[in-house]
Amino acid sequence: MILIDGKKVSLEIKAEIAEQVKQLKENGGKTPHLAAILVGHDGGSETYVAYKIKDCEAVGFKSTLVRYEDDVTQQELLAKIDELNNDTDVDGFIVQLPLPKHIDEQKIIEAIDPKKDVDGFHPENVGRMVIGLPSFVSATPFGIVELIKRYNIETSGKNCVIVGRSNIVGRPLSVLMSQKAINTTVTVAHSRTKNLKEVCYNADILIAAIGSPEFVTSDMVKDGAVVIDVGTTRVPSSETKSGFRLKGDVKFSEVAEKCSYITPVPGGVGPMTRVSLLKNTLLAATRKIYY
Ligand code: GUN
């Protein structure tokens, strides 16, 4: 079994990005600039956004954090998005999800200029990705594909089963995994899938993106399968300073021994998601998607 070290690969990619930023600056180019809008004080969102800002610093990007309380109006958010769309210094920005219930998330996503949509959530970017045009691809699917490529995992003609059909992970990943560069035969399983165990057992590459800790057990995994765990559920823990720890969607202790490759949690997909946002921001700053 080979443990896929997402942390190590993400550090390599970060170093590559930092080098490109250095060269950009040396050649008189502008410093890539990512902005993030954070609403409220959800613990997970606070942590993720803090990481995003820290990552920007690490590679030499400029970053801006715009904070609002939970009672911000949709109109105020839309006005800020309009401002960021028109701010020529900002190359890309994200609105951290989830948003409070009184705000229409889809309306917010669609207000972002697709050219600055480094999350890849805007329907224009999703549509472009589906038909194979240059597009911003959402960070987790982008990171998973990069991990598979960097580990030279054989994909052509393999059965890929993705459990979960979210707009952020499962659905876009299903498109990427069927594209010509990857060539897997994709099944998207979900809460209504019949015989889920058998469906998963048929996978050469099994990707768990359900958000249910230790959902995938060893009886669902074929010997020699590649297992990618997207789960990052926070569970209370007395052993960590923060008072919680992350649990994946895969029961690692029993599944790992059956796999050819497996991603751990933490240290697998998570760091690749983080670095993919940096990649998208660099693509935005250098006008590589829309030119
Ligand atoms: N919430 C959970 N994941 C994400 C993400 O990738 N981007 C944003 N904007 N919000 C999220």
Question: What's the token pair of residue 122?
Answer: 């805007």
174 and 263 co-located in one domain? yes
Please report whether residue 283 resides in a domain. Answer: no
CA dist list (Å): 225 to 141, 148, 194, 248 = 19, 13, 21, 17
Domain check: are 143 and 254 in the same one? yes
216 lies in a domain?
Answer: yes
Catalytic residue among 14, 20, 52, 117: 52
Helix, strand, coil proportions of the chain in percent (round to 5)?
40, 20, 40
Specify if 241 maps to a domain: yes
Residues 61, 183 within the same domain: no
Which pair of structure tokens corresponds to residue 235? 């569970």
Nearest-Å Rg of the Cα atoms of the chain is 19
Ligand 1 contacts CB of residue 58 (under 6 A): no
Task: State whether 79 and 154 are in the same domain.
Answer: no
Please indicate, yes or no, whether residues 72 and 193 belong to a single structural domain of this protein: no
Contact 274, 11 (CB under 8 A): no
Q: Is residue 61 within 8 Å of 47, Cβ to Cβ?
A: no
Which helix (H) or strand (E) is 226 found in, with range? strand 226-229
Does residue 11 line the site of ligand 1, with CB under 6 A? no
Q: Which domain holds residue 50?
A: 29-113
Q: How far is the CA of 202 from the centre of ligand 1 (A)?
A: 30
Q: Is residue 180 part of a domain?
A: yes
Question: Residue 281 has what pLDDT?
Answer: 98
b/e sequence 171-205, b meaning 16+ C-beta within 10 Å: bbbbbbbeeeebebebbbbeeebeebeebbeebbb
Q: Are residues 82 and 204 in the same domain?
A: no
For residue 291, the model assigns a pLDDT of 83
Catalytic entry in 5, 55, 91, 119: 119
- The closest alpha carbon to 268, from 112, 143, 109, belongs to 143
Asked if the structure places residue 188 within a domain, the reply is: yes
Residue 94 Cβ contacting ligand 1 at under 6 Å: yes
At 5, list the tokens: 């070290």
Would you mind telling me the total number of residues written for the chain in this entry? 291
Between CA 39 and CA 58, with CA 80 as vertex, the angle to 5 degrees is 65
For residue 198, what is the domain's CATH number?
3.40.50.720
Ligand 1: residue whose CA is nearest its atom 8: 96
Q: CATH number for the domain including 106?
A: 3.40.50.10860
Within this chain, do residues 152 and 95 fall inside the same structural domain, yes or no?
A: no
pLDDT for 242: 87
Helix axes 123-130, 170-178, angle to 10 degrees: 30
Same domain for 170 and 105: no
For residues 269 and 136, the answer to whether their CB atoms sit within 8 Å is no
Amino acid sitting at position 105: E
Write down which residue in 46, 78, 113 finishes a domain: 113
Structurally, how many domains does the chain consist of?
Answer: 2
Instruction: Per-residue pLDDT tens, the chain, 291 aa: give them.
Output: 999 999 999 999 999 999 999 999 999 999 999 999 999 999 999 999 999 999 999 999 999 999 999 999 999 999 999 999 999 999 999 999 999 999 999 999 999 999 999 999 999 999 999 999 999 999 999 999 999 999 999 999 999 999 999 999 999 999 999 999 999 999 999 999 999 999 999 999 999 999 999 999 999 999 999 999 999 999 999 999 889 999 999 999 999 999 999 999 999 999 999 999 999 999 999 999 998
Q: Is the pTM of this model over 0.95?
A: yes
